[in-house]
Amino acid sequence: MEKFEGYTYIEGGVCAAQGFVANGLNCGINPDRNKNDLGMIYSEDACNAAAVYTLNKVKGAPILVTQEHLKKTGGVAKAVIVNSKNANTCNANGVWVAEQTCALAAKELGIAAEEVIVASTGVIGQPMSIEPFANGMQALVKGLSEKGNVEAATAIMTTDTVKKEVAVEFVIEGKICRLGGMAKGSGMIHPNMATTLNFITTDAAVSTEMLQKALSEVVKVTYNCLSIDGDTSTNDMVSVMANSKAGNTMIKENGEDYEIFKQALYIVMANMTKMLAADGEGASKLLECTCSGAKDVETAIAVAKSVIGSSLLKCAMFGEDANWGRILCAIGYADADFDIMKVNVDIASKAGNVPVCRNGAGVEFSEEFAAKVLKEDEIYLKIDLQEGSSQAKAWGCDLTYDYVKINGDYRS
């Protein structure tokens, strides 16, 4: 993980921040009893909360319920309840099931149902029963622990091959603050807010309005710059809860404290974005595209995302083929204004750097050395537009035979 001055990586995921507990277990939604399918995060102290959601017109019932809950409470929450294996999307009784799930969680926790954020992930269009939630809720709440982050993180995994957690410690006004998160996602991921399920907790004191501002700004340059396969899920959500236990003065406006907090949020979300990209369905390589020399950030984002979203480029990276023309092609159809005749492109990895294009035209390079560079499992595509000082990154993975195998029989 990249180091940032003033920020220290710590263990604990969503339980790293003071006052948060979590748990996960199998309640019967997933027939494999060895896999957790129900998770919870809880703070006894009320949290200011913010969230961003998928832009897909088809939205999972949990998103609709969560949006209504945060609207009713004015952006206050105490718990997250989330399941995997079934997305609870396109079900006639989906909203009822999501609401009842919140009610069950609230009853066990002794809080209001509106203080619960609910989320689901898994197969779309499968019938959803409240029975597994009813059977598992008591044990789930009873097992809540300051060390329950791993159980919760594994409860949201679908085709993920590894759990995804990051947490950092930092200082605001002399007060030690912590921020941590967990994420899931491997396929059906494409830029359009928010890509996958992501839950973030912090003990820093931040108002709901500033939480939402920070989240929306950071999502733009992290999760929205991630593409696995070109599909935007129906259940994508990122939520942040802040319980103020660190004791800093409430952050209510722009300023140094806000920037310190926002940077912590960026570090956690950027790292989880890279984890999601590296664990793309069937992936063998993490791809990171940096577009620099842009006249503004929007142009840099558009170019980097265009390259990362190219299926042909993804295939070339899987085949370890330095087919840089596919990079230029993807740059060329980016929705941005720039001079293609100024563009420089390099392909790099820990094995070295290969300049492949200068001023919009190819340059000679060693195919043998390029093949060596592309054998690594992390590939860096570097684009310089030579028109300004702005830059942005986007992340993705290669497109492999296994992606088709996984999605050919996903429901099973």
Cα atoms in the Cβ-side hemisphere of radius 13 Å centred on 318: 20
385-406 as b/e, with b when 16 or more CB fall inside 10 Å? bbbeebbbbbbbbbbbeebeee
C-beta separation of 159 from 187 below 8 A: yes
Tokens found for residue 304: 């980097």
Task: Enumerate the β-bridge partners of residue 347.
Answer: 354, 381
Contacts of residue 174, defined as CB under 8 A and 6 or more positions apart, other chains included, come to none
CA dist., res. 202 & res. 172, Å (int): 13
The neighbour count for residue 14, using CB atoms within 10 Å, is 28
Burial of 342 (0-12, 13-18, 19+ CB in 10 A): middle
d(CA 243, CA 235): 25
- State whether residue 84 is helix, strand or coil: coil
Around Cβ 139, how many Cβ atoms within 10 Å? 13
- Residue 103 class from Cβ within 10 Å (0-12 exposed, 13-18 middle, 19+ buried)? middle
Of the candidates 54, 154, 159, 195, the residue annotated as catalytic is 195
The two structure tokens encoding residue 201 = 């907790």
Distances (CA, A) of 354 to 205, 290, 331, 346, 385: 46, 15, 18, 5, 17
Q: Which residues pair with 392 in a beta bridge?
A: 291
Strand pairing partners for 249? Answer: none
Q: Tokens 């563009």, residue?
A: 343
Q: Name the residue with tokens 């929705």.
A: 335
Q: Which two tokens stand for residue 47?
A: 């949290």
DSSP code, position 289: E
- Sign of the four-CA dihedral 204, 53, 409, 130: positive
Bond into 278 cis (ω within 30)? no
Q: How far apart are CA 89 and CA 94, in angstroms?
A: 7
400 catalytic? Reply is no
Active site residue ranges: 195
